[in-house]
Structure 1
Amino acid sequence: MMRAAGALALAAAVSAPGAQAQTLLDRCVAQTCKARLTPDQLLGEVQALIAAKRFDEARPMLAALQQLPDRRFETRYLTGMLAAETGDHATAIAQYQAILADDPGQTRVRLELGKAMLLSGRPQSADRQFAIAQQDADLPPDVARTIRTVRDVIRSQRAWSFDFSAGIAPDTNINNATSADQITVDFGGIPIPLELDDAARARSGTGLTATASAGLRLPIAKATTMLVDLDATGTNYDGADYDDYQLQAAAGPEVRLSPKSSVSVQAVGAQRWFGGDVVSRQFGTRIGMQHGIGTRGRLGIQLDVRRTDALFDDGYDGTQAGLFATYERAVAPTLVASAGLFGRRDWLDQPAYSSKEGGFTLGLGGAMPLGINFGLSGTVSRAIYDAPIALFSPKPRKDWRYVARATFGNSKIRVLGFSPQIGWTYTRAESSIGFFDATRSRFTFQLARYF
């Protein structure tokens, strides 16, 4: 019922008023009727027949329209409209997605795609499309209000999401080792240079990688929803020495304070395996706040506090706390820019491992013509440790850290619903202690699908 009501509301909001035009068939009174139509006239005939729900009569004219290469957009759109009107939502979705792959700025098409997804039982996917369409500053006020109402209804209902990707990952530093060939140790105030053997240096390799993310929203009271999130990622290399797997689960309520603001509190648990062994477990709390600013901006603040049990070294046991603030703004209907600040504090059992870190991040992402979607981001941070490591220096360690990420995908290419995606992550640590200098470059070539 919710799906049908929401779709009908959207249909009413985006449809133009006015009487239906008389078609050529209505004007044809002879038993045999012939006419020579221009492309624009043929297009008008198909539109009028679909509006009048005379689908059988529209199909042969739509087939004729498909023979005109310069009318590809109109043909796809009307094919999608005809399919949607006859209940073939899968075909409608495919046609609308093909249009948006070439021109992601077609807001009307995106609304029709969201409506078709809603009617086909995919509310989370529909909500993504409505969220993008909502960024269009040229939306008529009544359409914008209807989108907000439909999105509120979607969020108030039981909904789930699931994203999955898998592929290969060439990596220049699978053991996350130092980039130095030699180090200097402090022996009674005397610096002694030492050569590192091959086992202590960075090792490259290519692994099989996969990520999965699932979410569930369960309404439990008015304006209150239970959030359940599960994230898993892993990379398998030849042999088990550097296999890396991580699993995280979070659950807790989200309360909507207003149409634009919400607060959530979740219990969080995480575990990591490396080299075939469990290396750490974490338990804690995550508190988040989101607030919409105007029609295009959103501010998010998150506090994450966890207790870490490090099974590989008791010195890394302790408490970690991080505060993150991010502002996102749609600079175009399909392009989002973001900026964030963060601070983190580690209180660990070994003071030399305890640290404080602060930094900022910038990002840009969205969809482009030809089906290309992308994401670019960069992070710079400064970390200062509480106490020195006597083996290396009488002074506490200080690091500069740099991270750059880029992802590119193509939604026009689909294999069983999966699309190709290429990612690159570069990390660089410049430390006051040479042993902790490290450089890592990791590529991923994946097939991804968002359910």
Structure 2
Amino acid sequence: MLRTQGLRMLSGAILAACAAPAAAQASACDPAAGCATGLTAPDIFAIAERYAAAQRFSDAETLLRGLIRDPDPDYRAEARFRLSILREAQGDRQGAIEWLKALLDEQSNAGRPRLELARLLAAEGDEAGARRELRRAGAAGLPDDVARVVDRFATALRSVRPIGGAVEIAIAPDSNINRATSQERVDTVVAPLTLSRDARATSGIGASISLQGFARADLSDEVVLLSRASARADLYGKSRFHDLVVTLASGPEFRLGGARVRPAAIVQRRWFGGDLYSESYGGSLNLLKPLNRVSQVEGELTILGSNYRTAPVQDGTLADLNIAYDRAFSPRFSTRIGLRLTRQDARADYLSTKSGGIDLLASRAFGKQLAFVQLSSFRLVADERDPLFGATRKDTRFDLTGGLVLRRFTWRGLSPLVRVIHSRSDSTIPIFDFKRTRVEFALSREF
């Protein structure tokens, strides 16, 4: 099958990337005779290799673990690489991935381990992660013959895992859980309006849970049926602010002119305060195209028709176009630039809007930590004047996000994440004018 051939193709590229370090012959000390003194690192590698060949994996791992504290960084890297091979040989692909990540945390320019990591991530179903590692490998530089094979693998890349998913659980202090104005009274064309407590900015500590899952089924050697499900819940002590969104999407995935293409049908429901808030039905078209060894472009068009249970005047169709460009400047530093255009129709013209925004993201790895910063700018304009406030809605919003993934403290695949988000919205309609600061302490994992 195409996807299996792709992984084999990358495996061949990995082997060509650099010859496996030759293990030195054992010194005068013969391990078979029980001697265990005066061994050099190459001696230990040779013994561990013999243990592995005899399927004495535990003994081989014990020896190799002793070398991950060696003062020579090349020996530490080689020990981690071999530990990854042992983990995969025993069917523990996730363990193999963790050893390779530990190696790359210390030696980010190591080409062969990064290509191995891309291969394993693809096999585990993390296509986005595999593509990210291929871009980082390209930024570090590859021999021409290897680079050509990797290019072909990147073009044909798709996940080979039939099912998988991700989970994130966070505790989130929030200065404005309902994204509302702090004003107690706003002016209208009739008279000043006093806002209820729930209509004003309310702080609180909540819990956020995000779940994502996927399933793949082969339709042919080159086409699969991809079904995805996602759910996000923001829960607070006051249940009237609970916010839950569930999305289901399903459609084929195939290749077209070197691009990955994903059309999908979508069903989405949202509950607010425990009551059904909206139902949406429609579809999307996603295209992802690697541009070269260090960059890619991805675009997605989504069209949804929505019905609002408590406010049918908002019923209408949403059309959203999102285009993002990703580039790795080095194995440790990556960026993304995104552009978004949105059109929201509604029964009432003053609720119909058009908007556009730009999103800038940069991430930098520091050893076992990954820091990122994101800046988003968004402009929204309504079609007509709001009859209650006597003005046409015009919003300008900025979001600044900074965060740190603390992989040093990973436990059972769960990585701690700290994220701080500050939002500022200026609007000609006072109820849409707000400030918000949210801090998230999260644990996340892909499986």
Query: Normalized against structure 1, the TM-score is what?
Result: 0.84
In 2, the alpha carbon distance for the partners of 1:7 and 1:49 equals 28
Distance 2:132 2:63 in 1: 27
Give the deviation of 1:348 after TM superposition.
0.3
Distance 1:238 1:60 in 2: 48
Matched, 1:410 2:413: no
Counterpart in the other structure of 1:124: 126
State the secondary structure of the residue aligned to 1:70.
Answer: coil
Distance 2:173 2:315 in 1: 31
Q: 1:27-46 residue pairs with structure 2 within 5 A?
A: 42-46=40-44
1:291-319 deviations in Å (ceiling 9; x for gaps): 22121121222211110101120111011
Partner of residue 381, structure 2: 384
Whether the 8 Å CA contact 1:299–1:325 is kept in 2: the answer is: yes
Matched residues in 1 for 2:24 and 2:336: separation? 50
1:217 aligns with 2:213: no
Residue identity matched to 1:139:
L
Provide closer, same or farther for how the CA distance between residues 203 and 47 of structure 1 changes in structure 2, counting only shifts above 3 A: same
Distance 1:209 1:156 in 2: 28
Contact 1:425 1:441 in 2 (8 A): yes
Which consecutive unaligned segments of at least 5 residues does structure 2 have? none
1:184 matched to 2:187? The reply is yes
Asked whether the 8 Å contact 1:55–1:82 carries over to 2, the reply is: no
Alignment-derived partner of residue 114 in structure 2: 110
Q: In the aligned structure 2, how far is the partner of 1:388 from the partner of 1:64? A: 69
> Are 1:429 and 2:428 an aligned pair?
no
Q: Percent identity?
A: 25
Distance 1:83 1:262, change over 3 A: closer
**Distance in 1 between residues matched to 2:140 and 2:230, nearest whole Å:** 34
Name the aligned partner's letter for residue 238 of structure 1.
G
Note the C-alpha offset of 1:450: 1.4
How much has 1:25 moved relative to structure 2? 3.5
Contact 2:419 2:440 in 1 (8 A): yes
Amino acid at match of 1:220: L
Q: 1:173 is paired with a residue of what secondary structure?
A: coil
Change (3 A) 1:132 1:46: farther
Instruction: Report whether the alignment pairs 1:323 with 2:327.
Output: no
1:365 equivalent to 2:367? Answer no
In structure 1, runs of 5+ residues without a counterpart are: none
Task: State the AA in 1 paired with 2:271.
Answer: W
Match of 1:198 in 2: 197
Hey, what does 2:78 align to over in structure 1? Answer: 77
Q: Does 1:255 align with 2:254?
A: yes
How well do the aligned residues superpose, as a CA RMSD in angstroms?
A: 3.5
Deviates more, 1:197-206 or 1:248-257: 197-206
In the alignment, is residue 398 of structure 1 matched against residue 394 of structure 2?
yes
How far apart, in 1, do the equivalents of 2:52 and 2:352 lie? Answer: 72
Contact 2:70 2:76 in 1 (8 A): no
Displacement of 1:94: 4.0
* Residues 158 and 218 in structure 1, CA contact (< 8 A), matched pair in contact too: no
User: Match of 2:72, SS?
Assistant: helix
**Bigger mean CA deviation after superposition, 54-63 or 163-172:** 54-63
AA aligned to 2:146 is V
CA deviations 1:148-183 (Å, max 9, x no partner) are: 555667627453331101121111112222232321
> After superposition, what is the alpha-carbon deviation per residue over 1:101-139, rounded to whole angstroms, capped at 9, x for unaligned?
444443333334456667xx6353783675355433411
Q: Which moved more, 1:130-139 or 1:406-415?
A: 130-139
Counterpart amino acid of residue 243 in structure 1: H
Q: Is the 8 A contact 2:68 2:75 kept in 1?
A: no
Structure 2 counterparts to residues 217-366 of structure 1, below 5 A: 217-259=216-258, 261-366=259-364
Q: 2: distance between equivalents of 1:64 and 1:414?
A: 18
Does the 8 Å contact 2:382/2:393 carry over to 1? yes
Mark the CA change 1:110 to 1:193 in structure 2 (over 3 Å): closer, same or farther: same
Structure 2 distance, partners of 1:34, 1:336, is 46
Q: 2:166 aligns with which of 139, 163, 168?
A: 163
Output the CA distance in 1 between the equivalents of 2:63 and 2:305: 63
SS at match of 1:349: coil
Are the structure 2 counterparts of residues 384 and 95 from structure 1 closer, same or farther at C-alpha, using a change threshold of 3 Å? closer
Q: Which amino acid aligns with 2:431?
A: F
Contact (CA 8 Å) 2:124, 2:161: kept in 1 or not? no
For these two proteins, the number of residue pairs brought into alignment is 437
1:420 is matched with which residue? Answer: 416
Q: Matched residues in 1 for 2:166 and 2:76: separation? A: 31
For 1:97, which of 90, 101, 113 is the aligned residue?
101
- CA 1:36 to 1:89, structure 2 compared with 1: closer, same or farther past 3 Å? same
**Which amino acid is 1:99 matched to?**
L
Which structure has the larger Rg over C-alpha atoms?
1
Quickly say closer, same or farther: Cα 1:22–1:268, change in 2 above 3 A: closer
1:449 corresponds to: 445
Deviation at 1:268, TM superposition (A): 1.0
Asked if residue 12 in structure 1 is aligned to residue 15 in structure 2, the reply is yes
**Aligned-partner Cα distance in 2 for 1:321–1:70:** 57
Aligned partners of 2:158 and 2:25: how far apart in 1?
42
The letter for the 1-side match of 2:82 is M
How far apart in 2 are the matches of 1:388 and 1:442?
32
AA partner of residue 386 (structure 1): D
What amino acid sits opposite 1:427 in the alignment?
Answer: S
- The one-letter amino acid paired with 1:337 is T
Distance 1:147 1:292 in 2: 12
Separation of aligned partners in 2, 1:49 and 1:245 = 56
Q: CA 1:327/1:93 → structure 2, altered by over 3 Å: closer, same or farther?
A: closer
Q: Which residue of 2 aligns with 1:24?
A: 26
Q: Please tell me whether the aligned partners of residues 256 and 263 of structure 1 are also in contact (alpha carbons under 8 angstroms).
A: yes
Answer whether contact 1:425 1:442 (CA < 8 A) is retained. Answer: yes
**Residues 379 and 79 of structure 1, relative CA distance in 2, 3 Å threshold:** closer
Matched-pair contact (CA < 8 Å) for 1:428–1:438: yes
